[in-house]
Amino acid sequence: MKDILGARREKRSVRGRRRYAVPVESSAYRIAGLGRPLQGWGHRRRGAEEPDGLMAVLKELHAEKRRLMYHWKGGGEEEEDDDDDDDDDDDEEEDDDDDDDEEEEEEEEEEEEEEEEEEEEEEEEEEEEGEEEEEEEGTESPSNQTDTLTNSTFGQCTTLNGEINCRRINLTHLPIIQNQEAVKLDLGGQDLSGIFQQLTHVSMFSDNSIRTIPSGSFSDLPTLRSLDLSDNDLEDESFDHNPLTNLSFLERLNLAGNHLTKIPTLPSSLQELNLNRNNLGSLCPDCFKGLVNIWSLQLADNQLAEGDLRPLGKLLELDLGNNRFQAPPRGLPSTLQKLSMKGNLIQELRPDHLGGSNQLKDLDLSHNQLHEARIDQQAWLHLKRLEALDLSSNRLTSVPLKLPPSLLNLTLERNSIRHIPASTFRHLRPGLRSLSLSYNALTDAGFERHSLVGTYRSLAELLLDHNQLETVPRCVRWIKNLHVLRLDNNLIRLLEKWAVCHPRNSGSTLASVRLEHNRLSLEEIHPNTFSCLTHPGGLTLRPQQEK
């Protein structure tokens, strides 16, 4: 009888351990912050390894489980001991029912064993399904962050402030971005074959080897606003299927550094277009057909010699630098505010060249072949809002006359200017703020007494370095609001007492004077020569040339 009771207790103990093991184990996973067992936990028989950190936590939780099981087992034995006392009092009654009890117990045990086997099979199936999901989805981070890419090969990409950078990590295809807040994708330095997938907002495919754009490449990106395809191997044939026309919200497009000889068909929504460093040969009105919203157009470093820009009625900024123009192109819109034509072959300026651009504020004609004799004095007549004019690196020998009256900044460096005619700047209102005459051939004779009249109250920066001056021009001392004066790299031998700071010019704002690389004897300089400087550290006198 005792053997039967002992066997019964042992079976109940086994059933209790199995019954409480599952909730305790699931509680352990829940406490550890995991939705399901880690891959490898519970499958040691399959040879999987336990992750170091989380496995240590789970081991501690399982130790706690065993402690709870131990207490449960002890309590059960106490209850069974109490039952034994009652059983001893009623031995006769139990003897009569032993056979029936054994049969019922055997049936109950068989049912419980079948239920336990079914539960074990279900647990194994759930664990196998969890492993398959983990293999398909990859291991998720505890923070459930959304800045993820769908393939583990993109793990080297970095994310910061909504920008995803995948430069030079040997990608063979473009990623699918799940982060809906990403505004920039940089895939520079890859070897791509032109295969595009879903992106959001702003995409950058610059500095790759893209040669073709398959039809429908951007069919899933109707709201794309900015696209950078610069520095690739795109040719005219790359746009035969008009792959960009469906991008009806596209505002900024960068195609610089490719091999285009003509402007492809583009969406009418474009506002900024960059075609620098291509092989464009000419501009015709049909080239910009439908592009009525463009306000910024960059066409520098091409082979352009002529063009017509009349369809661009909203154009504000135009860069035609480093081409082959001999004159500004026809049809410059009246809305234009900034024009760069540096590095061309322009030799003359006539009134009709810029007459229609009466809103122009910034004009760059540097690095051309202009001579003052071939600049018509009426060439600037209609430029009544021009504020900045750059004529550096041309063939000027004198400052041009009849400059635009609104001019504030005039750059004339790196010419062969020897002379500044009297009253050249008298008509300017409110007057020049910056005048750069560096790297010219100015001598003392080239400055007349009234050469700088019209600038005495406005000029803040005067650059006369790298010329052939032997003294400081007398007109300099009358400039009241001068901040920066450069006279370095000349032939100056003597400084008069009031050459820079005149006692009648009170309230000086002069902060920087440079006179190094001249032929001065520093011991002969009067102590009050630079008394008007606002800070002693603003004076540079060393080194000097040998006399």
Helix (H) or strand (E) holding 92: helix 91-137
Q: What is the DSSP string of 291-324?
A: -TT--EEE--SS----BB-TT-TT--EEE--SS-
308 Cβ neighbours under 8 A, 6+ residues apart? 283, 284, 285, 329, 330, 331
Residue 241 banded pLDDT, cuts 50, 70, 90:
confident
pLDDT at res. 452: 95
331 versus 116: the higher-pLDDT residue is 331
pLDDT at res. 327: 94
Name the percent of the chain lying above pLDDT 70: 63
pLDDT at 79 over 60: no
Report how many helices (DSSP H) and strands (DSSP E) the chain contains, helices first.
Answer: 4, 18
Place of tokens 């400039």: 479
Q: What does the pLDDT average to over 130-146?
A: 43
Q: Per the structure block, which two tokens stand in for 380? A: 């600037």
The CA distance from 14 to 19, in Å, is: 9
Q: What does the pLDDT average to over 478-491?
A: 96
The CA distance from 230 to 84, in Å, is: 89
Strands, E assignment, 6-89: none
Q: Are strands 163-165 and 158-160 parallel, antiparallel or unpaired?
A: antiparallel
The CA distance from 329 to 341, in Å, is: 10
pLDDT, mean over the chain: 76
27 Cβ neighbours under 8 A, 6+ residues apart? none
CA 301 to chain centre: 23
Q: Per the structure block, which two tokens stand in for 89? A: 């009092």
The model's pTM:
0.69
Kindly report whether the peptide bond that precedes residue 405 is cis, defined as omega within 30 degrees of 0.
no
User: pLDDT of 144-190, one tens digit each?
Assistant: 333 334 444 445 555 554 444 444 444 333 343 344 343 344 444 44
The CA distance from 297 to 402, in Å, is: 30
pLDDT at res. 375: 96
- Would you put residue 104 in left (φ > 0), alpha (ψ -120 to 50) or beta? alpha
**Exposure string over 44-69, b if 16+ CB within 10 A, otherwise e:** eeeeeeeeeebeeebeebeeebeeeb
- Measure the CA dihedral 202/206/211/216, to 10°: 0
Residue 410 banded pLDDT, cuts 50, 70, 90:
very high
Q: What does the pLDDT average to over 353-380?
A: 94
pLDDT at res. 112: 61
CA 45 to chain centre: 51
The CA distance from 431 to 409, in Å, is: 9
Helix (H, G, I), strand (E, B) or coil at 135: helix
Angstrom distances, CA of residue 186 to CA of 158, 168, 170, 208, 221:
10, 10, 13, 11, 17
Q: For 114, phi and psi rounded to 5 degrees?
A: -65, -40
Q: What does the pLDDT average to over 266-293?
A: 92
Strands, E assignment, 153-282: 158-160, 163-165, 184-186, 202-204, 226-228, 252-254, 272-274
Q: Using the 8-state DSSP alphabet, how is residue 247 labeled?
A: -
255 Cβ neighbours under 8 A, 6+ residues apart? 229, 230, 234, 264, 273, 274, 275, 278
User: pLDDT of 312-357, one tens digit each?
Assistant: 989 999 999 999 999 999 889 999 999 999 999 999 999 999 988 9
Q: What does the pLDDT average to over 426-449?
A: 96
Residue 308 banded pLDDT, cuts 50, 70, 90:
confident
Least confident of 57-61, 101-105, 328-332: 101-105
pLDDT at 269 over 80: yes
C-alpha closest to that of 272 among 250, 293, 296, 255: 296
The CA distance from 344 to 367, in Å, is: 7
The CA distance from 358 to 272, in Å, is: 22
Helix (H) or strand (E) holding 83: helix 52-89
Q: Are strands 388-390 and 409-411 parallel, antiparallel or unpaired?
A: parallel
pLDDT at res. 243: 87
pLDDT at 139 over 80: no
Angstrom distances, CA of residue 512 to CA of 411, 526, 538:
19, 18, 4
pLDDT at res. 202: 47
Q: State the number of CA atoms in the 13 A half-sphere of 450 facing the CB.
A: 8
Tell me which amino acid residue 276 is: N
C-alpha closest to that of 222 among 252, 253, 245, 254: 245
CA 545 to chain centre: 47
The CA distance from 321 to 298, in Å, is: 9
Name beta bridge partners: 362: 338, 388
Least confident of 197-211, 347-361, 444-458, 509-523: 197-211
pLDDT at res. 265: 92
Least confident of 58-67, 404-413, 492-501: 58-67
Sign of CA dihedral 286, 289, 294, 295: positive
pLDDT at 419 over 80: yes
Sign of CA dihedral 507, 429, 454, 460: positive
pLDDT at res. 485: 97
Q: What does the pLDDT average to over 412-425?
A: 96
Q: What does the pLDDT average to over 384-411?
A: 97
The CA distance from 24 to 71, in Å, is: 14
Q: Per the structure block, which two tokens stand in for 432? A: 């020049």
